[in-house]
A and B are shown apart, each in its own frame.
Chain A
C-alpha cells in the first residue's frame, strides 16, 4: 500500500460534488412530525418489519462504532449524520462540497415489508429531507425515497416530488424481492425517466428476502460487506438483459457504494454471453457493454486500492473517465476523503470530471 497522495489542488480549489452523503434521524421520534397519528402509533407499537432476525441491530454487526466514523458522533448526542452543523464543519466546508447528494437510508421505504407503512415512511422521509436538510443547507440535494416493492405508489411519489428541484434522483435499494430489471419495477423507471431523475441504487442493510450470495449467507461482516459489490453486478445484468434500456432509452442509473473496478470484467463477460445466448434475449438488441456505457454511472466509494496504484488508472481508462462520480459515504467508516481518495495523480481534466462535471451532467445540476 502506498502513502496517500495529498491532492493539494483539491484543497485549493474546493468545489466538488459528493454523490453519497447519509443523513440520519436524531432519534426514533424524528419522523413523528411527518407521520399521521395512525402511523406514529404503529411505529411506536410495532416498529419496523424488515427481513432479518434482530430488531435492535444488524445480524452482521459492523466493525467500527456501528459502521460509522468514530469522529463523526455529534457532541450533543444523536448518531453520526444526524447533525447538520457537524456535517458542515466536518465535511461540507473543509472538503469543498459544492453539492452533496443525500441518500437517506434510515427508516425509509426500501426495507419495510408493510407496504402501507413503507409508503408513509417514504413520504415522511422525503419531507424530512427537504425541511431539515435541503432548506437550511442549499448545497444539499435530496433523493426521492420510495416504497420500492409497490411500484405504482413509487411512481406517484416520484411525480409528487419531481416538481421540487431539490430532488435530483430516485433512491432504490438493489435488495429487492425480484431482480430490478423485472417488469414489475418498470413503473418506477417510467416515472423517473419522465421526471428526468436518475435512479440512485444504494444497498440497504437488510435483505430483500434472499441470502446476500448465491451460495447462501455469509458468516462474517468481511463477507457481507463484500456482497454489496457482487450484488450490484447482477443488477447490471438484470437491467440490461430485461431490456430496460430499450424500453426506457433516457433512463440513467447511478451505482452507489459498490466500488467500480469490476465494471470492465462484467461488461466483457456480459458481451460474451450475450453473443452466445442471443436467442434467449432477442429484445437486447445491442452488446451489453454499450448499454452500460450509455446508461450507468458509478460512484467511486469504496474505491479499490490496487497494490500498484497505476493499475487503477488503467481500469478507469477502460470504464471511461466520464462514468465515475466521486462519493464519500459520509459519515460511514469506509469513508473516502476527497483529498486522499486517489493514490495516483489525476490530470486536471480527470479531476474535474470525476469530482464535479460528471455528476453535474448526470444529475443536471
Chain B
C-alpha cells in the first residue's frame, strides 16, 4: 500500500557524514581535544546499526559514498519527495550518547543538535527535529532541552530504549519535567548503548539477535514507565516508541493489566488500568510492524487487540530497510485509520508540529558552550 501525499513521517535517520563536520559546532577546548586525540577521524556510529548491514540501509537508498543517510540530496529525493510528506521528524542517532565522559557526551550532543539546525531544519522546511539528549547526565540533558526549546522545529527529545537505566527511573524525571513544560514529546528509539547485556541471559552472538531484543526491551521500558508512575507525575507527557515493533503490544497491555490488579499495593499511584494509561500517553511508529507481509486479516485482528486507533504513527524509518519500493504501509489498513495514521495522530502526539514560532538567531560556532 502506498502512503498518501501530505503524510507525516515520524521517524527518519539523517546522518552526520563525518565527525569532522561537527568541529565547527564545538567550543575551542573540545575542538582541540578532538583533533589532538584523533577523535574527529572516526565516526560515532552506534553499534546497533552497523553501517553496511542490510537492515541499516536499503540498497537503493545507499549513497555512493559515505554513511547511510548522510547524503542530503538523496534523503530529500528518497524520503521526502518520493512519499510526498508534509513533515518528516529526524532522529539523528549519533553515538555521542554512548560516551562515558558526560561532559564530552553533552558537548557532542549539542554539536549534533546545532548541526541538525544548520544542515537539516534550515535546509528544508518539511524537516522537524528531535533533540538528541546526553542521557548519561540528566542535568546536562535538561540544559540541552532548555537551550533549544525555543526553536519550534524541534518537536521531540530522543533517548534510546536501552541506555544506562530503564526509562521510568526517577533519575530521568528532570528530563520529563522539562519536556512536559515545553510540550516536547519523548521519543524512545530502538537501540542500545550496551551498558547492559541486551538480554537477561547475557550477550547474544549475532547482530540480528540484538535487533530483535529491542522488542522485549520496549516492553520493559513501558512497564517501567507505568510502574514508576511517570504519567501520574507528568500527566502532559507523551512518549513515542520509535522502531519498536508493533505486534507485541497487545500482550503488554493484557499482561500489565492483569499484573496491576495483583500488585497494586506496591505501586498505588497507578489509578487506572495500565492499558488505558498506555493508550493515552504512548504512541508507536509502524516501521517495523512485525507482521507477515500481505496478511490483511491478521492486521485487522491486531488493531482490534490493541484497541485504539490513536496509537499508531506513520514512519518510513528511512534509510533502514523494512520495505521495498513505496510499499511503506502494511496491507489491509482500514480506510477509517488512514487519516489518523498518516496525519492526525502525529499532530495530536507532537503538539509543536502545529506551532508557528520564531526561529532563533543562529548560534556562534560553539563559543557560547562550555
Binding site for B on A (CB under 8 A): 1, 63-64, 174-182, 207-223, 225-227, 229-231, 233-235, 237-238, 241-242, 259, 261-262, 264-266, 268-274, 276-277, 279-281, 302, 304-307, 311, 314-315, 318, 333-334
Contacts and interface: CB of A to CB of B under 8 A. Distances in A.
Contact of A306 (B220, B226, B265, B305): B305
Q: Which 8 residue pairs are nearest across A and B when measured between Cβ atoms?
A: A230-B216, A234-B199, A265-B247, A231-B200, A213-B220, A277-B208, A214-B198, A269-B290
24 contacts: A175-B200, A176-B202, A209-B202, A210-B199, A210-B201, A210-B202, A214-B161, A216-B195, A218-B166, A218-B227, A220-B263, A222-B256, A223-B224, A234-B209, A242-B205, A261-B251, A261-B255, A265-B290, A273-B208, A276-B55, A302-B258, A304-B254, A304-B255, A315-B250
B196 interface: yes
B189 to A, nearest CB: 13
B255 A179 contact: no
A129 B86 CA distance: 66
Given A223-B227, A259-B251, A273 B245 contact: no
B217 interface: yes
Contact of B250 (A227, A242, A311): A311
Contacts of A234: 198-201, 204, 209, 212-213, 216
Interface in B211-234: 211-213, 215-217, 219-221, 223-224, 226-228
A231 B195 contact: no
B219 A222 contact: no
Nearest to A264: B247
B254 A306 contact: yes
B331 to A, nearest CB: 14
Contacts of A302: 258
Given A237-B212, A311-B250, A182 B205 contact: yes
Contact of B215 (A182, A233, A277): A233
A241 B208 CA distance: 8
A64 B265 CA distance: 10
A261 B266 contact: no
B165 interface: yes
Contacts of B221: 215
Nearest to B54: A276
A182 B199 CA distance: 13
Contacts of B4: none
Interface in B151-193: 161-169, 192
Nearest to B195: A216
Contacts of A222: 223, 226-227, 256, 259-260, 263, 266-267
Given A218-B220, A222-B267, A277 B200 contact: no
Contacts of B265: 63
Contacts of B42: none
A268 B291 contact: yes
A277 B261 CA distance: 41
Contacts of A270: 212
Given A272-B290, A307-B257, A214 B199 contact: yes
Contacts of B161: 214-215
A266 B249 CA distance: 11
A333 B262 contact: yes
Contact of A304 (B213, B224, B251): B251
B321 interface: yes
Contacts of A333: 262
A286 B220 CA distance: 29
Contact of B166 (A64, A215, A334): A215
Nearest to B199: A234
B217 to A, nearest CB: 5
A216 B275 contact: no
Given A210-B201, A261-B251, 9 more contacts: A178-B202, A179-B202, A215-B217, A216-B166, A223-B223, A230-B217, A268-B290, A277-B211, A305-B254
Given A223-B223, A280-B207, A307-B254, A214 B290 contact: no
A223 B220 contact: yes
Contact of A279 (B54, B203, B253): B54
A71 to B, nearest CB: 15
B61 interface: no
A182 B261 CA distance: 38
Nearest to A180: B201
B294 to A, nearest CB: 12
A258 to B, nearest CB: 10
A314 B257 CA distance: 19
Contacts of A311: 250, 301, 304-305
B254 A261 contact: yes
A123 B260 CA distance: 39
B68 interface: no
Given A262-B251, A271-B292, A333-B262, A178 B223 contact: no
B259 A226 contact: yes
A274 B288 CA distance: 13
Given A234-B209, A265-B245, A265-B248, A214 B217 contact: yes
B47 interface: no
A219 B226 CA distance: 12
Contacts of B192: 214
A55 to B, nearest CB: 22
Contacts of B199: 179, 210, 214, 231, 234-235, 238
A269 B197 CA distance: 20
Interface in B309-363: 321
A215 B219 CA distance: 11
Contacts of A314: 301, 305
A81 B163 CA distance: 40
A305 to B, nearest CB: 5
B206 interface: yes
Contact of B307 (A208, A259, A262, A307): A307
B101 interface: no
B266 A63 contact: yes
Nearest to B167: A215
A264 B298 CA distance: 11
A215 B196 contact: yes
A190 B220 CA distance: 33
B258 A305 contact: yes
A63 B263 contact: yes
Contacts of A318: 298
B361 to A, nearest CB: 38
B53 interface: yes
A273 B227 contact: no
A220 B119 CA distance: 43
A241 B206 contact: yes
B259 A237 contact: no
